[in-house]
Structure 1
């Protein structure tokens, strides 16, 4: 393997290396199938990141660390070839997102790679170009778009942006195991017309909840989505999580629909936030699974009052 430190004299760009970064998502605020047969999800951006450093070179092959990040390596090759750049150098990915858990780890890796390539060569790669190449690799989560978005994850197409994410925390537990996103999405699941109509209504409610900063409505939608998802990827702790959420006055339950995480949403603006967090975490620990707190990506959030 090429050493990125030793081979820096061969770099073709002004920078010795480029850096790219992408946040992940805690499962989905909502996921389902609409009456038009489109599979969709609503992202939940979190402050957990994947970072890539790209050390370009005019000689040698293109390699990656960790070696198992083959999807990211594939995307890098496609992008470099598309823009007529040397398909060589070394990519180093450092991620806070655990694979196979429903945190969009592989998508975040790939977006970080594309942004590192942009950084090295001082160019802007249109989102549509990145999506077109990822489409050949795997279904994806829509996190290449800022804020909360409604995304057709199987056809890799943005439906709409719902704005920035409110300041929220997720008291989460991991039920264990690992899910292969590609295999999961290859299975065609029967969704009734009744459920499709309900998903359409839930999506409308989610949009309204975010426009009006109605966290109670948001929580009802996320909880209902978690319940409906029991037909596809059931969570053993859903009933317990709902009971704990109700007992501490949480916003609602949220799940990684094709992952292993499930969590309780709290509002960071809740005057009883600290107490609810402490009691909630203790109750989660008693369920016997690893527990973690995630924070929403809300640094640019601006609350807008929308008249009813």
Structure 2
């Protein structure tokens, strides 16, 4: 029995923080994908041969099988991913989501985004990329789940400095609650702007929300190159700049199919390297279709 599925990444978050004592983030779905292929085995002798090479994918598969009430084993799990690990692009959540969908596909069943979210959150703090479009999602407890609608069509240039961060350790920081309270007014403002931007399909307004949240998050996870990146992006007509609030990535957003001059990449690279960081660009775009099952 075999199932296969895709799940997109999120380019950091449009907004992340706390409003009225509720943790949340706003997803930013992009066209980088994880593909999971899961092979299920009926034979109990397979139990000792379960594929645990990707422990989170294995846990997701076992929890999905438990949900469906079947005594099968994920004999083999193949994860192929375009998503860089450990920089804040939701790579682990994408693995988990694609795995859950693959298990459902192998069984000829369906599984809801809400159930996938429950499974993901039982494993680790998770993004809301199991839903189509842009989501407000409580990445810690899952209590707040609100679909805002489709994200405007934009091209995205992700800056990968090669630095990584453990999201689970980040979310265990003792000062996180206090620092989220400190920036709460800016986060609430950014969320209100986001709601209006999504409702009116206004990319530039969404860019304003991104910047508001990214700058506010400097008190939690400082990125020394962020202010200069925002300035140079504005000089080249970018729609906005966002950040991985618990990661190292930055995203620079332009209108879809805009011709970005080579000087832009040179200038951005010079800024990043000034802080003794490497600078790799990943070009992608915003999407809205969410995860999907693939034909075997």
- The TM tier, using the shorter chain, reads 0.7 to 0.9
Q: Where do residues 182-201 of structure 1 align in structure 2 (5 Å cutoff)?
A: 182-188=168-174, 189=176, 190-191=178-179, 195-201=183-189
- Does structure 1 residue 87 correspond to structure 2 residue 77? no
**Structure 1 unaligned spans of 5+:** 1-15, 301-308
Check 1:130–1:298 CA distance in 2 against 1; reply closer, same or farther (3 A cut): closer
Q: Which has the higher helix share?
A: 2
Q: 1:196 to 1:283 in 2, by over 3 A?
A: same
Larger radius of gyration: 1
Which residue of structure 2 lines up, in the alignment, with residue 212 of structure 1?
200
* 8 Å CA contact 1:142, 1:158 repeated in 2: no
Q: 1:55 to 1:205 in 2, by over 3 A?
A: same
Residue 291 in 1 paired to residue 277 in 2? no
The answer for the alignment partner of 1:13 in structure 2 is none
1: CA distance, partners of 2:289 / 2:168: 32
Q: Please identify, of 287-296 and 96-105, the stretch whose mean Cα deviation from structure 2 is larger.
A: 287-296
Task: Give the alignment partner of residue 64 of structure 1, picking from 24, 44, 51.
Answer: 51
User: How many Å apart are 1:160 and its aligned residue?
Assistant: 1.4
Tell me the SS of whatever aligns to 1:27. strand
> Which of residues 103, 125, 130 is equivalent to 1:117?
103
Measure how far apart 1:130 and its partner are. Answer: 2.4
| Structure with the larger RCO, 1 or 2 (CA within 8 Å, 6+ apart) | 2
- Confirm or deny: 8 A CA contact 1:102 1:259 kept in the other structure: yes
Alpha-carbon contact 2:186-2:213 (below 8 Å) kept: no
Pairing 1:1-308 to 2, within 5 Å after superposition: 16-34=1-19, 36-59=20-43, 60-61=46-47, 63-64=50-51, 67=53, 69-88=54-73, 89-188=75-174, 189=176, 190-191=178-179, 195-268=183-256, 273-274=258-259, 276-286=260-270, 287-288=272-273, 289-298=279-288
Distance in 1, matches of 2:182 and 2:120, equals: 32
Cα 1:245–1:154 shift into 2, 3 Å: same
- Contact 2:17–2:180 at 8 Å: present in 1 too? no
Query: How many residue pairs end up in the alignment?
Result: 278
1:296–1:182 CA distance, 2 compared to 1 (3 A): same
Q: CA deviation at 1:32?
A: 1.1
SS at match of 1:173: strand
